[in-house]
Amino acid sequence: MKIGNKEFVIGERTYIMGILNVTPDSFSDGGKYNSIQNALNHAKTMIEEGVDIIDIGGESTRPNHTAVEAEEEINRVIPIIKAIRKESDIPISIDTYKGKVAELAIKAGASLINDVWGFKKDPYMSEVAAKYNVPCCLMHNRDNTYYNNLIDDIFNDLNECIQIAIKAGVKKENIILDPGIGFGKTLEQNLKVMNNLHRFKELNFPLLLGTSRKSMIGNTLNLPVDKRVEGTIATSVLGVINGFSFIRVHDVKENLRAVKMTEAIMKAGV
């Protein structure tokens, strides 16, 4: 899979997607990186630490977040995408569910769409992905937590996302899937998804896991947002063991070390 000008060999190793929230209200780091210079400095730090992709988001998706108009989201993310692109050729992902935002982000230098609604929120999103022929990550999400069979229902929901994408002309080889930890799921359901990560290989698409500092970890360990690194690392290790190709995290250095260690053990054989 080509993201930007870099080749990602699916199945060879687990790649690190670093989170750059340029929002005033994100649950973990709201307000820290919403100036161009601060965002650029943080991007440079992540690159030094070995990040493979930088995921830029201009609207918080935390529970009970305040929705942002597309114009405001554009004003937040576009200058920062352009600033990073001037300094580095690191692949940039745009974290949005709005087609207009994604389109302008791609024109500014982003090369992957990361949609927390899996193309179900904005019909234009699938058109943008097809038009610009960029990879896209379709995340599982729903506006309730009622499931007949949790994993099977998530599979059905994700298959709907896949069909929306393919119908719009998105190439199958450009699709990544995300089980959506923390979205449309209770704590118990999130933990159950984590315990069934191996099942998602059945979908036959590259997989992305995004658990970093989320409430699943905070509620399990009874820890605030800034004390969830170890809990996140545990989930990242599970992602590697279960064949996930991408891990989306705030703490690049720590998670990358854990990923590399896990991969070294797995490659050692018996």
Catalogue the active-site residues: 214, 248
Q: Contact, 34 vs 58, CB < 8 A?
A: no
Q: Is 258 helix (H, G, I), strand (E, B) or coil?
A: helix
Long-range contact set of residues 185-194: C-beta below 8 Å, sequence gap at least 24: 185/145, 186/145, 187/215, 187/216, 187/219, 187/220, 189/145, 189/147, 189/150, 190/214, 190/216, 191/216, 191/220, 192/150, 192/151, 193/150, 193/151, 193/154, 194/235, 194/238
